[in-house]
Amino acid sequence: MAKKQSERLPEPTPGQPHRAGDTERIGTSKVTYLAPLPLPTGLSPVDFSQTIGEMNDVYLDYGAGPPTVFGYQLAIWGPLFGIFFLLVLVPLMLISIMDWQGYRILLGTAIWAGGAFSLLAWIAMRRNHRDRLNAVPIRFHRQRREVCFIVKERRLGREVDEAVIVPWESLMAWAVEGYGATQYGTTRQYGLGIGYAHPETGKWLKTEGLTAGMALSLGEWEVLRAYMEYELNSLDEVQDPLGLRAPGDPPHQGVHTIRNERRKLHEGLREAPSLWRYLHASWWYFHYVITLGPLPGYLAEREHRIIQQRRPQLKLAKIEEWSKPLPKAQWAKPSEALVKLSAEVRRIRQRDPLRPIEEIVAEAYRRQGVV
304 found inside a domain: no
349 found inside a domain: yes
The reported pLDDT for the residue numbered 199 is: 65
How far apart are alpha carbons 122 and 125 in whole angstroms? 5
Reported for 338-347, long-range contacts at CB under 8 A and 24+ positions apart, including other chains, are 338/37, 338/38, 338/39, 338/169, 340/368, 341/37, 341/39, 341/365, 341/368, 341/370, 342/39, 342/40, 342/229, 344/368, 345/39, 345/40, 345/42, 346/40, 346/42
336 found inside a domain: yes
How far apart are alpha carbons 52 and 151 in whole angstroms? 19
Question: Helix %, strand %, coil % for the chain, to 5?
Answer: 45, 20, 35
Which pTM value belongs to this model?
A: 0.81
Q: Under 8 Å CB-to-CB from 65, ≥6 apart: which residues?
A: 1, 2, 3, 47, 49, 50, 51, 52, 53
306 found inside a domain: no
**Listed ranges 7-11, 288-292, 314-318, 354-358; the one with the highest mean pLDDT:** 288-292
Is the predicted pLDDT of residue 330 greater than 90, yes or no?
yes
116 found inside a domain: no
Is the predicted pLDDT of residue 359 greater than 70, yes or no?
yes
164 found inside a domain: yes
Q: pLDDT tens digits for 37-77?
A: 899 998 889 888 888 888 889 999 998 778 889 999 999 99
Strands 59-62 and 204-211, how do they pair?
unpaired
345 found inside a domain: yes
Question: To the nearest whole number, what is the mean pLDDT of the chain?
Answer: 84
The reported pLDDT for the residue numbered 312 is: 60
Could you tell me the residue range of the domain that residue 190 belongs to?
1-64+136-236+332-362
The reported pLDDT for the residue numbered 9 is: 64
Q: pLDDT tens digits for 199-258?
A: 666 677 788 888 888 888 899 999 999 999 999 888 777 876 666 677 778 878 889 989
Is the predicted pLDDT of residue 1 greater than 60, yes or no?
no
The reported pLDDT for the residue numbered 343 is: 93
The reported pLDDT for the residue numbered 7 is: 47
The reported pLDDT for the residue numbered 287 is: 95
Task: Tell me if 63 sits within 8 A of 255, measured CB to CB.
Answer: no
311 found inside a domain: no
- H helices of the chain, in order, are 69-84, 90-93, 100-134, 214-228, 236-239, 255-271, 275-290, 295-310, 317-322, 336-351, 357-367
Strands 52-55 and 29-35, how do they pair?
unpaired
User: Picking from 61-70, 158-167, 323-332, 360-369, which range would have the lowest pLDDT averaged per residue?
Assistant: 158-167
Query: What size, in residues, is the chain?
Result: 371
User: Picking from 95-104, 142-151, 237-246, 285-294, which range would have the lowest pLDDT averaged per residue?
Assistant: 237-246
Is the predicted pLDDT of residue 78 greater than 80, yes or no?
yes
Per the structure, the count of domains in the chain is: 1
